[in-house]
Amino acid sequence: MTPRPPVRINAPALVLRVMANILRGPKILLTKVTNGQIESPVGVTVGAVCVVMAPVLFISAAADFWDRGDDGVELLILGLVVGLIGLAVLGVSRFPSALPVARLFVAFVAGAFASLIVATAAHYFSSAATSLDVAVAEAASTVSGTNASVIQAETLSLGITLFRSLGQWLSAAAIIVVVVRIMPHLGVGGLDADGGVVTRSARRLAPKSGSTMIRLLALYAALTGVLLVAYGVAGMSFVESLVHACTTISSGGFSTRSGSIGAFGSVAIEWIAICGMVIAGTSLPLIFRALQQKDMSRFGRSVEFRAYVGLIVAAVVTTLAWSSQWPNESNVREAVFSVISAISTTGFYSSELRSTAYGVESILLILMLIGGMSASVAGGFKVIRLMVLGKYIRRELRRSIHPAMVEKIHLGRSSIGDVAMSRIIGELFLAIMIILPMAMLFSADGLNFKAAFSFAISSLSNVGFAFGLDRTDQHLQALGAIGHIAAAMMMMIGRISATPVFVALGGIGEPAQREIRRLRLKRKQKVIR
């Protein structure tokens, strides 16, 4: 057999060709920028994020100047830079008329990480963070709405305190827009089991117009105002009331005190926080329709809301049953507080949880994984997905007894298809595949296995508190630089959802894969010739 001749490559010609392509790209880009013709959903999303975050930085800077803090100048300069960048990017970008789902996911994820970069800069250039990894972790807590921090809350300036609370509030508002308005049309994340609007109730709750979406956000702001007044009446100062109102309704959990809500020592404040956390874990469109039509019976007719309340009641009763003594009012309140904080993924705590029984810790971890209702600001797997998964397991068990049986999964009066089920199972599988290696990484970075595993679940579900250490909020502080970055990525994936992140990563890598396939094909053709 005659050996194939080697492929000869003209190195100088190849270098010149590569350089020509490199130089051609900026020329084309400059022409498009000049003409304002760049169709970039990423540019539009990133520019919008910068424009929205600039006023938050200005407000935080003004508050810090008023309080004579040390971060006013840094926040003001950063606000100007971020605002100018946002306006410049929006000026040369426009949203394309037709957009593939993968590119939309890329834009969504890019917007989330743009907010992470801005928040990181705010923490790093101010007096809040001493290193870049700490700044990234604190920024992720702000953007994702996770009550995990390396810094003592009392040491933060007023400007950074407001920035963190308003950041959690705005990120939840953005999630409402994305989850309720955009995701149902894409078939992921959203109002119901598979993320598409498959149930009749979800179809009725989904906003059909921009005005309805504005009213939904107005309701979100109104609920924040109600909590602001309630906290003020209960004894908080105006700043503390504003911070806790923003972080309660957004399920963010950030507090002005290291001991969280328990540091205030007020029963009234604890019950207000409980009510706010219940609302944060409830579907906002459901609340909207019930108030709009003055029909509170909608809550009772919602199968997901009944399951949500049922989980809370069952968890509270089980938690109290684990107690070695007859529960009093304080025990009941603490149990209710911990259960609702876990299932709403807020992360507030009224007392240290180091003495909690193992069984109670397991219950709270399960509630963290489940999370709140669909179309709420809470994180987690979502109650309605759990309901559908339970019906799926029941059907498969019955099929093992009756193999020829044909049975559809019904949720209320709607049926759940196989595509929806595959999405639910895939989302659960992705969550498990993320939690296990991250728990191992946290364990290698300084946490014991119990603390590492619980914090992995807590960070992915955007809760914050965990078990296994002396203090409930000590886990992020005990990690090193690698652990801080890993925890930040976990928080962001938990807030965005795993599916958009992995789809976006695939979309980013697709051009490179296409180019590699082209080069391989070209080389193969040369060898054949």
Can you give the pLDDT at residue 213? Answer: 79
Can you give the pLDDT at residue 183? Answer: 64
% of the chain with per-residue pLDDT over 90: 38
Kindly tell me the burial class for residue 366, based on how many C-beta atoms sit within 10 Å of its own C-beta (0-12, 13-18, 19 or more). Answer: middle
Mean pLDDT of the chain: 82
pLDDT in tens, 132-157: 999 999 999 999 999 988 988 888 89
From 35-44, 83-92, 401-410, the region with the lowest mean pLDDT: 35-44
Is the pLDDT at 432 greater than 60, yes or no?
yes
Query: Among 89-103, 183-197, 509-523, which range has the highest average pLDDT?
Result: 89-103
Q: Is 99 left (phi over 0), alpha (psi -120 to 50) or beta?
A: beta
Question: Taking the model in full, what pTM does it have?
Answer: 0.84
Can you give the pLDDT at residue 205? Answer: 46
Average pLDDT over residues 238-259: 92
pLDDT in tens, 326-358: 778 888 899 999 999 999 999 898 877 766 667
Can you give the pLDDT at residue 526? Answer: 63
Cβ atoms of 460 and 493 within 8 Å: the answer is yes
Between CA 73 and CA 79 the distance in angstroms is 10
415 sits in which H/E element: strand 414-416
Is the pLDDT at 9 greater than 80, yes or no?
no
From 90-104, 188-202, 299-313, 485-499, the region with the lowest mean pLDDT: 188-202
DSSP-assigned states of every residue in 5-53: PPPP--HHHHHHHHHHHHHHHHHHHHHHHHHT-EE-HHHHHHHHHHHHH
Can you give the pLDDT at residue 200? Answer: 46
pLDDT in tens, 187-237: 544 344 333 334 444 444 444 556 777 888 999 999 999 999 999 999 999
Query: Which one, of 291, 257, 294, 285, lies nearest residue 273 by Cα?
Result: 257
Is the pLDDT at 41 greater than 90, yes or no?
no
Is the pLDDT at 456 greater than 70, yes or no?
yes
Query: Which one, of 510, 493, 519, 497, lies nearest residue 195 by Cα?
Result: 497
Strand pairing category for 409-411 and 414-416: antiparallel
